[in-house]
Structure 1
Amino acid sequence: MSATGPAGRVQPARPGDPSHIGPYRIAGRLGAGGMGTVHAGVASDGMRVAVKVIHPEQAQEAEFRARFRREVELSSRVTGPHLVPLLAADPDAPTPWLATAYVPGPTLNQHVLAHGPLTEGNLYAFAAATAQALAAVHAAGVVHRDVKPQNVLLTPAGPRMLDFGIAHAADGTSVTRTGVMTGTPGWISPEQYRRGTAGPAGDLFAWGALVAYAATGRLPFGSGAPDVVAFRVMSGEADLDGVPAALRRTLEKALAQEPGDRPSAAEAAQECVTLLASQATQVVGADAVPATAVDMVTALWDVPAGEDPAWHLPPDRSPSRKRLIGAVVLAAGVIGGLAGGVAALLPGSTGGGTHTSSSTASVPPSSSTGSARPLASTAKDDKDGTAANRQASNGGSATAESWALTRTAQGAGEHDVARAVLHDEGVVAQELGDGVGFSPKSVRFQESRREVYLSYTLASDEEGAMYAETEIARNMCLTVRDVVLRLHPDLPYRTYVMVKEESGRDPQVTWQDDFVANSRCRSAADDDSAQDSGTDQDSGADQGWQPDEDGLGQAMIPSTDGAEIRVADGAARKIIAGTNGIRRTLGTDRVLGNAEIKVGFDPGNSVMYVWSDYLEWNQEQVESWADLAAGEACRALVRERESAGSAWPYSRYAVAEIGGSGYLMIRSGTATTRAACPA
C-alpha cells in the first residue's frame, strides 16, 4: 500500500467506498493498495483518524483473522509519547478494520528527500525518541519488524514511530512475488537474512540504520538489487561517514553482526538521552535543561510542520447510525491529538517498490500485442463489451459467465496466490499513478477451468488503458507463475484472466493467457525466440536462446530464495575482487563494489545475469571485464549444481553492461563443467 500525496492530502472517495466505518464518518481516501484501503475518518467529536479496511480476500482467511486479532490485543497495551497507538479496531467485522488518530507530518523519508538530513539537536532528539519508542514496544512484548524511514512521522511535537505490532500481522513488511513474507531490503538484520529470525535485536539493527539515514541522508547499505543490499548487510558494510562521532559509537554497536553484541533498545535510548542532554545544555544552558527526556526532545525539536489541508466531510446521507457491535475501542490517554497518520497504516515503500537497478538504464516493458490477449477494454469500438465476449468465447476462453461462476480462495495454496497477486498489483497501481486509476479488487478461482481471475477497476483513457492493462497482465502472469509453479505445483491452475469492473456495466474479460506456456510472461510473441535445441560449443550459448532485455529485467527483480541470494552474493564477491585485482588492466584506479557490479537471476530461462553500470571502460577493457565475470559466473553455477544437484535450476549465464542509452550483452553461455568455463 502506498501513500499518494503529501501528508493530510485526502483523495475523493471512489464508487463503493463506505460512508461510515465503525464510529467514524469517512471524508475520503488517504491511500490504497493490495492489502486494503486507508480512509480519512472523523470521529463524532471532530477528531481526525486514519482507518484501514483490510482487503476482503484477507478477511476470508481464518488464520489471518486470528493473527490480526492477537496483534490488535497486544498492540493495545503499547503506549509511549513517541508512538502512534491504536485507537479502535474490529477484527471480527465482515471486513476487519483498525484505526489510529491522525496527525500531520511527513515521514522521515519524505523529509530527507525534501530538506536533507537531520542535524544537531533535531538529530539527537530523533535518535533518542525513536530508541525510546522501540524500548516501549519491546517492553510490551511486541517486535516491530518494520523499522524504516517510511514508518517514522516527523510531527510538530517530535518523531512518532508507526506500525508497531500491526505491521507484520496486517500488512507483512512486503510480500514478494513468491508470496514469502520478508522485510524491506536495507532494513533487515543479518540474522533475519540468514535464519529468518526477527526479534528485538533485529529491531535495534534496523534502528541503527534508521538513525544513520537520518544523519546522512544516505541509505546506510546503499541501493540496488535487494540481493546486493542483502550482501552488504551480511558483510557489515554500513556507510556511517558523516555521522557525528559520539552518536556513531552507539550506531556501530547497534549494527553489530551478532544479535548478542547489540545493546537493548532501553540501553540505546539511555545512551541517546545522555547525548541529547549534552546538546540541550549547549542550546539552553545547564540551568534550563528540561527534567525529562520527552521534554528535552520537545525543547530541541525544530522541524517545520508540513502542509495540513482541511478535511471536508461529504453530506451524511445515512438514515441512522447503528451502534457498532463487537468493536474493540481502545482508550489511550497519552494520545492527545498526536497519533496516527496515513503512514501508520501503510506498509510504505523504499522508493516506489519498482523492480529496477540502481543504474540509470531501465528495462522497458513490451507494449505490443500477441499471445497474451487484450480484449474488451482495449478495443476502440466496443462500447458494450460484446466484442470481448465474442473473442473470449472462442475455444472455450473465459467469459463474463465463467467469471460469475468463480469462487474465493480455498486452502493455503490458493490463499498464497491471492495474497501475492493483490500485493503485487498494488505495487503496479502505485507505479502507474493516480492518473490511471487502477485498483485491484479481488482474486477468484475457477478450478474446473484451471483459471485464476483478477478483477479490477481502471479509470484511464483508451491509450492509457492499453498500457496499464499490458503492465497489469504481465505482472499477474509473473506472480501467478511463480507462486503456482514454484510454491504450489499441485495446484491445477494454468491460465490467468483479467476482469474489468465498471459501475453500471457488466464485468468485462479484458485479458487472458496461459502462464505456463508463456514462460517469459510477454505481452506479445517474441519473433526471435525458439525452443532450446542444443548447445553451440563455439559460443557456449544455447541455440535458440540469447540473453535479452526481458531476461535482464527479470534478474533485476528482487529474489527471496535463499540459495539464489547465497550464490549471487558469492559470485558478486569474487567478480568484484577480481575486477579490483585487474584495475591496471582495466585502466582505472577506482575501487569498484556492489554499487557498480550486480548479480541476479532470470528464473524463466534459468539464467544468472551479471551486469555493470560502470561507464569509464573502453571496448577492450569491457571485453576483459566480461571475460572475468563470465568465468566466475560459470564456475559459481557449476559449483552449486555439484552441491545441490538437480534442485539447482540455473545452467546459463550472461554478462551485460548498462549505460544511459540502454544495455549491451557481452558474454553468455551454458555452465557445463568447470573446465569448460571461461578462464
Structure 2
Amino acid sequence: MSENGSGGRVQPARPGDPTRIGPYRIVGRLGAGGMGTVHAGVTSDGMRVAVKVVHPEHAQDPEFRARFRREVELSSRVTGPHLVPLLAADPDAPTPWLATAYVPGPTLNQHVSARGPLDEGSLYAFAAATAQALAAIHAAGVVHRDVKPQNVLLTPSGPRVLDFGIAHAADTTSVTRTGVMTGTPGWISPEQYRQGTAGPAGDVFAWGALVAYAATGRLPFGAGAPDVVAFRVMSGEADVDGVPAALRGVVEKALSKEPADRPSAAEAARECAVRLASEATQVGSAGSGPATAVDMVAAVWDVPAGDDPSWHLTADRKRPRKRLVGGLVLAAGVIGGLAGGVAALLPGNTGADTHTSSAAASASSSSSAGSAQPSTKTVKSGAAAKQRAASGDEATAQSWGQARAAQGAGEHDVARAVLHDEGVLAQELSDGAEFSPEAVRFHESRREVYLSYTLSSDEQGAIYAETEIARNMCLTARDVVLRLHPDLRYRRYVMVKEEPGQDPEVTWQDDFVTNAKCQVAADDGTGQDTDGNAQDWAPDEDGLGQAMIPSTDGDEIRVADHLARRLIQRSNSMSQVLGTDRVLGNAELKVGFDPGNSVMYVWSDYAPWTEGEAESWAAMAAGEACRALVTQRESAGDVWPYARYAVAQIGGNHYLMMRWGNATTRAACPA
C-alpha cells in the first residue's frame, strides 16, 4: 500500500468494495497490498483523495490495530511541502482507515525504469526536496524507516515522500513485532543490520542510496540474495560513479558506515540547497531568483508529469447493496472486451445455442452423441499446472457442454461480477498475455460456475495468467455467492479454455467455499506429502515477502547459505536439462525464512525457463530444501522452528508457488 496511485490510473471497484468511507465517496481503487487496499475517493466538492483501508483480518489483530493507530498519530505530526498530508482518519472504526491527499505521478523506480536517471537540474531538486522532507519528519520526532524509490512520488511540482505505514517514533514508544526487521534490502542501514536499531541516521543512509539511484539508475549496493546485499551494505563500498561532483560529497557522507559520520537530514538539505539555488538562479530571469526553497525546486524540476486522466465520477445514488454488484452492468463488460459474453447473460436468455461458442457447441453435440471423454488435463495441461477438484468428481468438457446461461437475479449478479473482474484483469496482464473472458455458465446439479476464456501467451506467461484468472474467479465467486446470494447452492468454480479448432479444455477447478484464501498452485505433488495426504497449510505472498527480509539469526543464515550453495551447484549441473544459458548464482537462486509460519522459502528469479524446465528445477529444489530442514532439525533438535518448505518461481511482477511440504523425515522428502 505504499503507492498513492499510478499516474492517476483508477481501477474499477471490485464487488464488495465500499461506496463510502467516512466523508469520502469511493469511485474505484488505486492499489492493494498485503496490509490493505487504497481506494480512490472524492470529497463533496470533487477533491481527489487516497483512502487507505486495512484488510479485515488485520483489523481483528489488537497489535496491528495499535500500530495503525500509532501510524495515524505519527502522520498527523508531520507537515511539509514535499510530503503527502494526512487529511482524516478513523483508527477505531470496525475497519480502520486513513485518507491522504491524492498525488499524481510515477514513483522514482517507475520513472527510472521507463526513462532512466534524472537529469542534473531535476536531480538537485530531488536531493534537496527529499532531504527537506526527511528533516521535517525528524523534526516531528518520527523516523520513516522505509526510505526507498517506491516511496517517493515524482509529481508535476516536485518529489513527495510518502508512506508512514512502518514509521516509528524516535522516542521508541512505537509498537512493533519483536524480532522482525523493518525495511527493504539495499535500503537498510549497516547499524540496523548489525544491532536492529533504526534512527534518523538510518533514514539519512537510505537517502544517500536514494540520491545515488536517482543519479545513476543503478542500485548502489547491487542486487542478489538479501544476505549478499546485506554484506555489501555492512562491508562494501556503495557504487556512486556517475553522481555529479556537486552532490557526491554529501552522498558519500550520508553513506558512511558509522551513523555519527553522517550529516543530519537538515544538514544534507542545506548542502543540497546551495547547489539548487545556483541552478535555480541560472534558469530564472536576470537579476531575480526563486524566493523560497519550494520555488527553487519548481524552477529546475523537469520531469514528465505522465498521464493523469480525469477520474470517472458516477452519480452518487443510494441503492441496495445487491443492486451495486448487479449494477456493474453491460458497460463494464463492453469496456473489458466482453460484449459477446455479456450479451449471453441478458434476462430472457435461457441457455439457447445463440450464445454458445463454436468450441463449446462442438463439445455439446459430441457429448449428446456419447463420444465425449472426460478431460485428462484437469490437473495438468500444456499451459500450466492446475487445481484438482476437491471432491474428486472432476468437471469435464462434457459437463461444460451441459451447463446453461444465467437465470434469475442471483446468477446474473454472479455472471456480471465474474466478467467484470476478469475483464479488469485482462487489462492488467502483461502485454505478452492476451486473455479474454468469454461466457459464464452454471451447472445447477453439480453446483458449479463455469468461465470460458481464450488465452494466448508463452508458457511462462500462461502459468502466471491462468493462476491469476483462477484466483480472481475464486475471490469473485466467494464474494457474490457467499456474501450477497447465500441462497445460491453453487460451491465450485471451473475454468474452460477455448481455442479455435479444438475441443474445450477444463484447466482449473476448485471449491471456492472451502478454499477460503483462494490459494491456487500446481497440484502435481504440490501441497502434498509424498504419501498423498493434503497439507493443512499453503504458502502465500505474505510469507514469501517475509522470507525476502534479511535474517539476523545465525542458524538461519548458516542453513540458508549452505542450501543456496547446494542449489546453485545442482542447478548448474542440470543446465542441459534446464536449458539455462549462463551460470546461475545468488542473483537467481535464493533462500529465506518466514518465522511467523515456520516456513523456509526457496525461489528462483530466472525467468527464461519454460514451464517444464521450471517444474524440473522446483522438484529438485523441493528435495534439497526438505533434506536441509531435516538435517538441521536432527542437529539442533526441537529448538529449530522450521519444519515446512516452499519453492516458488518469480518472473517480472508475478510469482508461482511450485512445490511445498512438511519436512518430516529424510525418507519422506522428494527424491
TM, length-normalised to structure 2: 0.57
State how far apart, in whole Å, the 2-side matches of 1:195 and 1:374 are: 55
Indicate if the aligned counterparts of 1:608 and 1:650 stay in contact, CA closer than 8 A.
no
Q: Tell me how far 1:91 sits from its aligned partner.
A: 1.6
Deviations 1:467-516 (A, max 9, x none): 778579999xxxxxxxxxxxxxxxxxxxxxx9564476448555479x9x
Structure 1 residue 13 and structure 2 residue 4: aligned?
Answer: no
State how far apart, in whole Å, the 2-side matches of 1:131 and 1:79 are: 14
State how far apart, in whole Å, the 1-side matches of 2:27 and 2:604 are: 48
Letter in 1 for 2:21: I
Summarize the Cα distance change of 1:312–1:139 in structure 2 as closer, same or farther, 3 Å threshold. Answer: same
Residue aligning to 1:367: 386
State how far apart, in whole Å, the 2-side matches of 1:531 and 1:319 are: 53
State how far apart, in whole Å, the 2-side matches of 1:47 and 1:374 are: 53
Indicate if the aligned counterparts of 1:436 and 1:459 stay in contact, CA closer than 8 A.
no
Q: Tell me how far 1:602 sits from its aligned partner.
A: 12
Indicate if the aligned counterparts of 1:26 and 1:313 stay in contact, CA closer than 8 A.
no
State how far apart, in whole Å, the 2-side matches of 1:557 and 1:372 are: 33
Residue aligning to 2:306: 306
Q: Tell me how far 1:83 sits from its aligned partner.
A: 0.7
Q: Tell me how far 1:215 sits from its aligned partner.
A: 0.6
Summarize the Cα distance change of 1:276–1:644 in structure 2 as closer, same or farther, 3 Å threshold. Answer: farther
State how far apart, in whole Å, the 2-side matches of 1:4 and 1:435 are: 28
Indicate if the aligned counterparts of 1:25 and 1:42 stay in contact, CA closer than 8 A.
yes
State how far apart, in whole Å, the 2-side matches of 1:76 and 1:198 are: 21
Residue aligning to 1:524: 523
State how far apart, in whole Å, the 2-side matches of 1:608 and 1:279 are: 49
Residue aligning to 1:77: 77
Residue aligning to 1:200: 200
Which of 557, 578, 582 is the aligned partner of 1:566?
A: 557
Residue aligning to 2:109: 109
Q: Secondary structure at the match of 2:304?
A: coil
Q: Tell me how far 1:214 sits from its aligned partner.
A: 0.6
Residue aligning to 2:188: 188
Q: Tell me how far 1:134 sits from its aligned partner.
A: 0.5
Kindly report which structure 2 residues correspond to 1:128-527, keeping only aligned pairs within 5 A, or say none: 128-164=128-164, 182-284=182-284, 287-318=287-318, 366-367=385-386, 369=388, 380=400, 461=452, 501-502=480-481, 505-506=485-486, 509-510=491-492, 511=510, 523-526=522-525
Indicate if the aligned counterparts of 1:556 and 1:601 stay in contact, CA closer than 8 A.
no
Letter in 2 for 1:245: A
Residue aligning to 1:64: 64
Indicate if the aligned counterparts of 1:191 and 1:258 stay in contact, CA closer than 8 A.
yes
Indicate if the aligned counterparts of 2:2 and 2:162 stay in contact, CA closer than 8 A.
no
Between 260-269 and 76-85, the greater mean CA deviation after superposition: 260-269
Indicate if the aligned counterparts of 1:118 and 1:215 stay in contact, CA closer than 8 A.
yes
Q: Tell me how far 1:574 sits from its aligned partner.
A: 9.6
Q: Secondary structure at the match of 1:150?
A: helix
Indicate if the aligned counterparts of 1:79 and 1:85 stay in contact, CA closer than 8 A.
yes
Indicate if the aligned counterparts of 2:276 and 2:296 stay in contact, CA closer than 8 A.
yes
Between 558-567 and 71-80, the greater mean CA deviation after superposition: 558-567
Q: Tell me how far 1:24 sits from its aligned partner.
A: 1.8
State how far apart, in whole Å, the 2-side matches of 1:281 and 1:168 are: 38
Q: Tell me how far 1:642 sits from its aligned partner.
A: 11
State how far apart, in whole Å, the 2-side matches of 1:596 and 1:35 are: 27
Indicate if the aligned counterparts of 2:87 and 2:99 stay in contact, CA closer than 8 A.
yes
Deviations 1:562-589 (A, max 9, x none): 33663278669999xx9xxxxxxxxxxx
Summarize the Cα distance change of 1:644–1:212 in structure 2 as closer, same or farther, 3 Å threshold. Answer: farther
Q: Tell me how far 1:45 sits from its aligned partner.
A: 2.3
Q: Secondary structure at the match of 1:302?
A: coil
Indicate if the aligned counterparts of 1:137 and 1:164 stay in contact, CA closer than 8 A.
no
Q: Secondary structure at the match of 1:182?
A: coil
Q: Using the aligned pairs only, state the percent identity.
A: 67
User: May I ask how many residue pairs the two structures share in their alignment?
Assistant: 488
State how far apart, in whole Å, the 2-side matches of 1:310 and 1:212 are: 34
Letter in 1 for 2:123: L
Residue aligning to 1:673: none
Structure 1 residue 94 and structure 2 residue 85: aligned?
Answer: no
Q: Secondary structure at the match of 1:562?
A: coil
State how far apart, in whole Å, the 2-side matches of 1:200 and 1:209 are: 15
Indicate if the aligned counterparts of 1:572 and 1:597 stay in contact, CA closer than 8 A.
no
Indicate if the aligned counterparts of 1:567 and 1:640 stay in contact, CA closer than 8 A.
no
Q: Tell me how far 1:99 sits from its aligned partner.
A: 0.9
State how far apart, in whole Å, the 2-side matches of 1:2 and 1:430 are: 22
State how far apart, in whole Å, the 1-side matches of 2:392 and 2:17 are: 31
Indicate if the aligned counterparts of 2:4 and 2:38 stay in contact, CA closer than 8 A.
no
Indicate if the aligned counterparts of 2:547 and 2:601 stay in contact, CA closer than 8 A.
no
Indicate if the aligned counterparts of 1:226 and 1:558 stay in contact, CA closer than 8 A.
no
Q: Tell me how far 1:96 sits from its aligned partner.
A: 1.7
Kindly report which structure 2 residues correspond to 1:599-618, keeping only aligned pairs within 5 A, or say none: none
Unaligned runs of 5+ in 1: 170-174, 321-363, 386-427, 439-457, 476-497, 516-520, 533-549, 579-589, 616-632, 660-679
Letter in 2 for 1:67: R
Indicate if the aligned counterparts of 1:470 and 1:523 stay in contact, CA closer than 8 A.
no
Indicate if the aligned counterparts of 1:221 and 1:232 stay in contact, CA closer than 8 A.
yes
RMSD in angstroms over aligned alpha carbons?
6.0
Summarize the Cα distance change of 1:106–1:600 in structure 2 as closer, same or farther, 3 Å threshold. Answer: closer
Q: Tell me how far 1:26 sits from its aligned partner.
A: 2.2
Q: Tell me how far 1:144 sits from its aligned partner.
A: 1.1
Q: Tell me how far 1:70 sits from its aligned partner.
A: 2.8
Q: Tell me how far 1:163 sits from its aligned partner.
A: 1.2
Letter in 2 for 1:217: G
Summarize the Cα distance change of 1:83–1:37 in structure 2 as closer, same or farther, 3 Å threshold. Answer: same
State how far apart, in whole Å, the 1-side matches of 2:295 and 2:393 are: 60
Residue aligning to 1:324: none
Q: Tell me how far 1:531 sits from its aligned partner.
A: 5.8
Q: Tell me how far 1:243 sits from its aligned partner.
A: 1.1
Q: Secondary structure at the match of 2:243?
A: coil
Summarize the Cα distance change of 1:249–1:644 in structure 2 as closer, same or farther, 3 Å threshold. Answer: farther
Q: Tell me how far 1:377 sits from its aligned partner.
A: 12
Summarize the Cα distance change of 1:29–1:648 in structure 2 as closer, same or farther, 3 Å threshold. Answer: closer
Indicate if the aligned counterparts of 2:2 and 2:163 stay in contact, CA closer than 8 A.
no
Q: Tell me how far 1:106 sits from its aligned partner.
A: 1.6
Summarize the Cα distance change of 1:13–1:19 in structure 2 as closer, same or farther, 3 Å threshold. Answer: same
Q: Secondary structure at the match of 2:130?
A: helix
Indicate if the aligned counterparts of 1:49 and 1:100 stay in contact, CA closer than 8 A.
yes
State how far apart, in whole Å, the 2-side matches of 1:32 and 1:501 are: 20
Deviations 1:587-623 (A, max 9, x none): xxx999854786668999999989998x9xxxxxxxx
Letter in 1 for 2:558: V
Higher relative CO (CA 8 A, sep ≥ 6), structure 1 or 2?
1
Indicate if the aligned counterparts of 2:117 and 2:214 stay in contact, CA closer than 8 A.
yes
Letter in 1 for 2:137: V
Letter in 2 for 1:188: I
Indicate if the aligned counterparts of 1:190 and 1:234 stay in contact, CA closer than 8 A.
yes
